[in-house]
Structure 1
Amino acid sequence: MASGRIPTDRARLYRTLRSAHLERAHELPPAAILFRIKRYDFHEELTRGLVVVQAHPVRAAWLLARSPVTTLEIGEPLMLSSVWASALAIGALRLRTLLGGRRSTIVSYALENADPFVRLLRARPRLRRGINGVAARFVWQQTDRIVFGTDAARVTYRTALPEPARNLVSAVIPALPAPCTCAAADDFETHRVVFLGAFVPRKGLLNILAAWTLVTAVLPQARLTIIGKGTLENQVRQAAALDPSIELVIDPPRNEIHRQLRRARVLALPSQPTSTWREQVGLPIVEGLAHGCAIVTTTETGLATWLQKHGHAVVAPGCTPQQLADAVVHALQAPRPSFDDLPSVDGRLAADAWLFADD
C-alpha cells in the first residue's frame, strides 16, 4: 500500500475496503483509493499495483487538498457512517478551488434502499442522526453525478433528501454482474447450496441452519457449504460437526470462493433487517449470479424485484424455516438461471465508466 501521496487525478474514498473493491480497481483506469477500515474479506495481495492509502478522514482530506485530484468518488450521501469523511474531503477540495485550484467533480454510487431518517431511535442516537443529516445534505448538494445501482435506491433518495439546489446528473444502472470469466466447473453438484458472507445474524445464517434439516428431509442428497467468518463461527462449527451434509470453509482465498461458487447450484443469503440496517444488494448475490447460481434471498435486497422476475426465490424476512426450506428445495429442482439474463458489462464497471466519463 502507498504511504500517503496521491499521484493520480482520480480518487475514491471508502470507509471500509474489501477485496471486491480491489479486484474491480484492477479493471478500471488508475485511481487512488483512500480508506479507513479493512473489511473482514480484505486480502493484502490485491493492493499490488494500486495506489491504496489507509487514512483517517482528516488526513484523507489533507491529502486530497494537496493532490491533483479532479474527480473524487465519495461514499453515497445516505451512508451516515461515512458522511462526515465525505464532507471533509469535499470541503478540502472546495477550499482548494477557492485558493485558485481547479474545481473537482464529486461523483457517487448509491445503493441505499432504506431511509435512515425515519428509523425510530432514542434521544441520543436521534441527535447524532440529526447532526449526520446536516452533513448528508451538504454532501448531496455538492454531488455532481450519481449512479443508482437499483431503482429502490433511486426511490429512497427521492424521499429521503431534498431536491438538489444545483444540477445533479443521475442514472440508474442495475448492480448486476457480467458472467464470471473463470474456468467452468468440472465438479458441479446439482444439489449443492452455498452460503457466502459474514457469520452474523443479519445475513440470515441462523435462518439457513434452522431450515437445513427440512431441506435434507426432502432432498437427502442436498449439501450445504458455509463460507466466510464471523461471530457465529462456533455455532456453525457445531452444526457442521453434527450434520455431515454441512461443509464449513473459513475465510478462503478468492480463487477458492470462485471454485465453490462454480460447483454450487444455489446461493442462499436470506438477509434479515435490523433497526439500523437493510441489505442494499448483497455482494454474495452478485457473485452467485456471475457464476450461474440460482439465488434464494429475501425482499430486503434492492435486487429483489429483478430476482423475482428472472425466476429466483425471494421470501419475506422472518419467514418460517419451512418457508425458507421450500424456497431452497424449489431452487435446487428448478432449471438453472441463464447467463443471458445478465449484462455483458458488469453493472458496477458500467456505472464507473458513466461517473467518470467527463472527468
Structure 2
Amino acid sequence: MNEPGNARTRAVRIYQTLRTAHLERALELPPADILYRQTRYDFDAGLVAQVRPQQVGDLRCAWLVARRGYETVEINEPAAVDCVRRSAAVLAALLVGDLVRRRRTRVVTYAIGNIDPHALPKPASWWPRLGRRLDLVLARWVWQRVDRVVFGTQTARQVYGTVFGIAERRRLHWITIEALPAVCDCPADGGKAPGRLLFLGDLSQRKGFDSVLTAWSAVRRRVPEALLTVVGRGALLDDAYAAARADDRVRVIADPPRDVVHAELRRASVVVLPSRRQDAWREQVGLPIVEGLAHGCTVVTTDETGIADWLSRNGHGVVPAGSVAELLAPVLAEAATRPLDAGAVRASLPHRDSRLEADAWLFAREVVAARA
C-alpha cells in the first residue's frame, strides 16, 4: 500500500466503522487511502500494517480529504444516519476544496441499507429528537451530492427509490449488483458432512443466537448425529458455554483467528443466522451468510437479510422473522439432514466477488452500463 496521502493515491474510502472484511478487501483493490472512526468487534489488527488505515475524527477526516485533493471519495451510504454527520462534514470540505481547484470530486457510495431512516424508533427526549431531524436533513443533502451508487440488494434499491428518490436524480449513475461472494480460495481438506451446523459471529439476540439455542434441542431429537459449532463472541457467550456443558454435541470457539474461522466454514454443511430487527437495526446482508456461501454451505436465515429472495430461489432455508420460534427447528433439521450440494452452492456464485465488482464500477474513470 502507498503511504496515506501519497500523491499517487487518488481515491479514499471513508468508514465510520472499520472491520476485518474491509481490510481483506483492500488488499485486493487498487490503492486507496482508508480513513475510519472506530473498529468492529471482529477487527483483525494483524492486517493494519499491510493496509495502513488512519483512525481520525470527523473534522480531521474532512480536513484531510479537502487538503489531499482526491479524485474519488467513497462515503458511507446516506441511509446510515448514524454516519451522516461525518459524510456531511467531508462533503462540505469538498465544496471548498473543489472551488479552489476548480473541479468536481466524484463522490460514490455502496448502498445496502434496507430500512427507512424515517421509520426508526424516535428518541425519548427532545435533544436527541432534534439531532435525528438534523441527520435526516443531512442524509437527503448527502444523497443529492452522490454521483455513483451501487445497490448491493434489490431491497436497498427499493428503499432508496421510495425514501430518497432515484429517477429524478439526473446526474446520478447507479447499478444493482447482488451482494454475493465468489468462491473462497481455501485449500480443500476433508470436506463436509451432513449434520454439521455452524453459528458464526456476534452471539446476540439480534443475530438470533438465542433462537438457535432454543431450536437446538428439537434439532437434536430429529437429527441425533447433528453437531452445533458456535464461533464468535458477544453478550450470549456464557449461554453458549452452558449449552456446551449440557450437550457434548455443542462446541464453542470464542473469538478465534481467521484461519480457524475458515477451517470451521470448510467443515460446516449449514450456516445458521436467524437475524431479527432490534430497535434501529436490521440485517442488511450478514457477513456469516456471505462467508458460508463462499465455502459452499447451505444457509438457514430469516427474511430480514437483503438477499433473502436470492437465497430462497437457490434452495436455502429462509424463515419469516415473525415465525422463527415455530419454523426454525424444522427448517434447520431439514438442512442438517439434506444440505445442498456444496459444489452446487459454489456454482451459483459469481466468478468475482460482488463487492470487488461494485468497487471497480464505482471507481472506474468512465461509467459502463450506467443503469441496471
Cα pair 1:31 1:51 within 8 Å, conserved: no
Greater mean deviation of Cα atoms: 117-126 or 95-104: 117-126
User: Residues of 1 paired with 2:79 and 2:90: CA distance?
Assistant: 16
1:341 aligns with 2:344: no
User: Residues of 1 paired with 2:217 and 2:242: CA distance?
Assistant: 14
1:33 aligns with 2:34: yes
Q: What is the CA deviation profile of residues 59-117 of structure 1, one whole-angstrom value per residue up to 9, with x for unaligned ones?
A: 11111111131101100010011111011111112210112254210000000111111
User: Residues of 1 paired with 2:283 and 2:324: CA distance?
Assistant: 19
Report the residue type matching 1:92 in the other structure: A
1:140 aligns with 2:143: yes
**What pairs up with 1:135-284 in 2 under 5 angstroms?**
135-163=138-166, 165-186=169-190, 188-284=192-288
Cα pair 1:3 1:53 within 8 Å, conserved: no
Aligned to 2:65: 64
Aligned to 1:50: 51
Aligned to 2:364: 357
User: Residues of 2 paired with 1:312 and 1:165: CA distance?
Assistant: 36
Greater mean deviation of Cα atoms: 336-345 or 29-38: 336-345
Q: What is the CA deviation profile of residues 172-206 of structure 1, one whole-angstrom value per residue up to 9, with x for unaligned ones?
A: 00000011111123153321100011111100000
User: Residues of 1 paired with 2:347 and 2:4: CA distance?
Assistant: 43
User: Residues of 2 paired with 1:119 and 1:322: CA distance?
Assistant: 27
Secondary structure at the residue paired with 1:49? helix
Residue 343 to residue 193, structure 1, CA distance change in 2 (3 Å): same
Cα pair 2:72 2:108 within 8 Å, conserved: yes
1:74 aligns with 2:78: no
Cα pair 1:6 1:68 within 8 Å, conserved: no
Cα pair 1:2 1:53 within 8 Å, conserved: no
Secondary structure at the residue paired with 1:227? strand
Aligned to 2:106: 105
Secondary structure at the residue paired with 2:135? helix
Task: Give the aligned CA root-mean-square deviation in angstroms.
Answer: 1.8
1:131 aligns with 2:138: no
User: Residues of 2 paired with 1:162 and 1:290: CA distance?
Assistant: 33
Report the residue type matching 2:50 in the other structure: G
Residue 143 to residue 297, structure 1, CA distance change in 2 (3 Å): same
Report the residue type matching 1:12 in the other structure: R
Secondary structure at the residue paired with 2:88? helix
Report the residue type matching 1:354 in the other structure: W
User: Residues of 1 paired with 2:200 and 2:56: CA distance?
Assistant: 29
Aligned to 2:369: none
Report the residue type matching 1:177 in the other structure: P
Cα pair 1:228 1:250 within 8 Å, conserved: yes
Greater mean deviation of Cα atoms: 209-218 or 184-193: 184-193
Percentage of pairs with the same residue: 45
Secondary structure at the residue paired with 2:206? helix
5+ long unaligned stretches in structure 2:
367-372
User: Residues of 2 paired with 1:3 and 1:347: CA distance?
Assistant: 27
User: Residues of 1 paired with 2:112 and 2:364: CA distance?
Assistant: 20
User: Residues of 1 paired with 2:350 and 2:169: CA distance?
Assistant: 34
**Shift in Å at residue 119 of structure 1?**
3.1
Report the residue type matching 1:312 in the other structure: H
Greater mean deviation of Cα atoms: 74-83 or 331-340: 331-340
Residue 29 to residue 4, structure 1, CA distance change in 2 (3 Å): closer
Aligned to 1:91: 92
**What pairs up with 1:9-20 in 2 under 5 angstroms?**
9-20=10-21
Report the residue type matching 2:54 in the other structure: V
TM-score norm. by structure 1 comes to: 0.96
**Shift in Å at residue 39 of structure 1?**
0.6
Residue 320 to residue 100, structure 1, CA distance change in 2 (3 Å): closer
5+ long unaligned stretches in structure 1:
none
Aligned to 1:299: 303
User: Residues of 1 paired with 2:2 and 2:56: CA distance?
Assistant: 11
Report the residue type matching 2:87 in the other structure: S
Report the residue type matching 2:296 in the other structure: G
Cα pair 1:151 1:302 within 8 Å, conserved: yes
